[in-house]
């Protein structure tokens, strides 16, 4: 059966965005998503004939979030749950925010229709919003600051947008919505599923899996990650995304060999189950891997350092230069695009797109290794340590990890610069998500952050590249490059800034990764 949430479409009740779990309830009428799930399961067991007393649950995206919430206080009959692309925290890396930066076209384009009020039960929703153009770069640039969204388009009618604009920092509003903090008594078998190239909910599955693993050591808990966009494992072949091929029908393989056996085993006790702790696809080599722990135990921590002259390597900078750096001018009036094409939204294919168009810009720094003389396989999270300065008082720093293919004339991947992982960091949150701090103008500042996991093999003959920039538009909302509440910023607040990235022995910018032995 399929079930919607309270207050959506024609259902009764009051809809709340990621309704928080209530640790203390005043009585039987005090509900949340976990109690609604409990009540539904109880009703089904009593009213659906010939059931065997075992219940399974799954969902993708928002329904994946509800599947995860069902694990907080699970019904005894709930035996198998698969949260797929679940939202774990919409400020700390899922959907709307990444490291303090708003994912603008995704947030705006989703909520402008999802959040529009319905006049009443059975009555049609208000007309869908029309942008009037397919050019998202131009549309959002012309919109100006986020404060203009209501004045120009939304007219104050979207309640959830209004809430978001009042909660720019990671305050109690967002903290209460965090699901992993409550996953402490998980009894069903859990298979959390995600996509390495999920533009919407990449962080959620990893956070849900890790929370269950940490807080429920006896739980049957596994992670599945494939080379997929958002929910793409449930449809199509999953053999490619954008210009990158994965060499096989990965989605079909998952449905037949991973998902189906999981539910058949725990719901009908049929079939022997041999699923590992982590069933993950390794991009680059394009093979499925199985591991007893995630990240894999057979790996070592390595650091990849930025050097002068655009060099990148596993050895730290040496010499006597105390302040070796590269610089660029970031202009909010001419932000770096995230796509090399016209598109109105957050096109999923950006997650693997060719980055050569960005590497030619003067406001994008490019660092790359020599040609690799052996395969380098990175598995797990990517930690970033930047030493940076700005002539302003706040800045975004976008870091992209890229696989550079060899130059081969006639090869469709000739020189392709495949985006493997990219994330923004809003520097004012470098020390605290809930208490932002300004940067001191032109002072070297440590800006650390963590990017979601990857499982990618950079093959012999390829190069590893890192690109650094201060805008990624319109994927990420523009930073005025002043320390202020960006959601209240005026168009006149946006200013150019000179950015510096340091790579000296004292200030050694780098990324930290797990390299398979």
Predicted confidence band of residue 481 (pLDDT cuts 50, 70, 90): very high
Contacts of 224 (CB under 8 A, 6+ apart): 191, 192, 193, 194, 254, 258, 278, 279, 280
* 136-189 pLDDT, tens digit each: 999 999 999 999 999 999 999 999 999 999 999 999 999 999 999 999 999 999
Strands 278-282 and 221-226: parallel
Average pLDDT for the chain: 95
Instruction: State the pTM of this model.
Output: 0.96
Look at 14-28, 233-247, 370-384, 409-423 and tell me which has the smallest mean pLDDT: 14-28
Model confidence at 124, pLDDT cuts 50, 70, 90, reads: low
Write out the DSSP string of 397-432: EEEEEEEE----TT-TTTT-EEEEEEEEEEGGGSS-
Taken in order of first residue, the domains within the chain and their CATH numbers are 33-101+178-291 (3.40.50.1820), 299-516 (2.60.120.260)
- The confidence band for 125, taking pLDDT boundaries of 50, 70 and 90, is low
Sorted by sequence, the CB contacts under 8 Å of residue 63 that are 6+ apart come out as: none
DSSP string, 128-171: PP--S-S-HHHHHHHH-STTHHIIIIITT--HHHHHHHT--SS-
pLDDT of 11 over the 90 cut: no
Q: What is the pLDDT of residue 3?
A: 85
Strand ranges in 145-236 using DSSP code E only, listed in sequence order = 189-195, 221-226
How far apart are the C-alpha atoms of 370 and 368, rounded to whole Å? 7
Q: Quick one: average pLDDT of 431-445?
A: 98
* Better-predicted residue by pLDDT, 426 or 7: 426
Beta-bridge partners for 223: 192, 278
Asked whether residue 9 carries a pLDDT value surpassing 80, the answer given is no
**CA end-to-end distance (rounded Å), the chain:** 46
What is the predicted pLDDT for the residue at 192? 98
Residue 123 has pLDDT above 70, yes or no: no
| pLDDT of 29 above 90 | no
Residue 44, both tokens:
């089904």
Gap between the Cα atoms of 20 and 119, Å rounded: 26
- Distance from C-alpha of 41 to C-alpha of 27, rounded to nearest angstrom: 19
Q: At what angle do helices 136-143 and 104-114 cross, to 10 degrees?
A: 80
Q: How far apart are CA 403 and CA 48, in angstroms?
A: 52
């Amino acid at each position: 059966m399929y079930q919607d949430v309270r207050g959506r479409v024609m259902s009764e009740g009051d809809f709340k965005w990621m309704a928080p779990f209530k640790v203390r309830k005043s009585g039987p009428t005090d509900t949340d998503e976990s109690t609604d799930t409990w009540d539904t399961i109880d009703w089904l067991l009593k009213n659906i004939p010939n059931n065997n007393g075992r219940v399974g649950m799954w969902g993708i995206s928002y329904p994946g979030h509800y599947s995860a919430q069902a694990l907080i206080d699970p019904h005894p009959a709930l035996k198998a749950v698969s949260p797929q692309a679940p939202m774990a925290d919409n400020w700390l890396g899922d959907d709307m925010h990444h490291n303090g930066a708003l994912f603008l076209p995704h947030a705006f384009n989703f909520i402008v229709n999802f959040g529009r009020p319905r006049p009443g039960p059975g009555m049609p929703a208000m007309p869908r919003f029309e942008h009037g153009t397919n050019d998202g770069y131009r549309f959002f640039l012309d919109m100006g600051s986020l404060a203009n969204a209501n004045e120009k388009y939304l007219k104050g009618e979207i309640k959830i947008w209004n809430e978001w604009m009042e909660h720019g920092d990671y305050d109690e509003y967002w903290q209460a919505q965090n699901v992993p903090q409550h996953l402490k008594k998980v009894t069903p078998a859990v298979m959390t599923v995600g996509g390495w190239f999920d533009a919407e909910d990449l962080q959620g599955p990893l956070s849900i899996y890790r929370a269950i693993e940490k807080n429920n050591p006896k739980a049957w808990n596994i992670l599945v990650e494939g080379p997929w966009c958002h929910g793409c494992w449930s449809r199509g072949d999953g053999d490619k995304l954008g210009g990158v091929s994965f060499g096989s029908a990965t989605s079909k393989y998952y449905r037949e060999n991973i998902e189906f056996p999981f539910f058949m085993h725990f719901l009908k006790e049929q079939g022997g189950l041999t699923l590992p702790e982590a069933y993950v696809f390794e991009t680059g080599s394009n093979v499925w891997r199985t591991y007893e722990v995630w990240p894999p135990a057979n790996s070592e921590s390595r650091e990849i350092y930025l050097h002068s002259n655009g060099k990148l390597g596993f050895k730290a900078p040496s010499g006597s230069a105390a302040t070796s750096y590269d610089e660029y001018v970031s202009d909010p009036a001419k932000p770096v695009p995230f796509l090399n094409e016209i598109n109105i939204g957050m096109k999923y294919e950006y997650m693997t797109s060719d980055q050569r168009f960005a590497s030619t810009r003067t406001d994008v720094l490019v660092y790359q290794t020599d040609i690799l003389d052996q395969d380098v396989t990175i598995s797990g999270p990517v930690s970033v340590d930047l030493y940076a300065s700005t002539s302003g008082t706040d800045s975004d720093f976008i870091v992209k990890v890229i696989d550079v293919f060899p130059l081969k004339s006639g090869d469709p991947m000739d020189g392709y610069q495949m985006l493997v992982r990219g994330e923004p960091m809003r520097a004012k949150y470098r020390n605290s998500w809930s208490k932002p701090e300004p940067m001191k103008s032109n002072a070297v500042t440590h800006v650390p952050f963590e990017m979601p996991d990857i499982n990618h093999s950079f093959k012999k003959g390829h190069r590893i590249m890192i690109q650094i920039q201060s805008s990624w538009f319109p994927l990420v909302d523009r930073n005025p490059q002043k320390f202020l509440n960006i959601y209240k910023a005026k168009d006149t607040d946006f200013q150019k800034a000179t950015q510096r990235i340091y790579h000296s022995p004292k200030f050694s910018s780098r990324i930290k990764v797990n390299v398979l032995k």
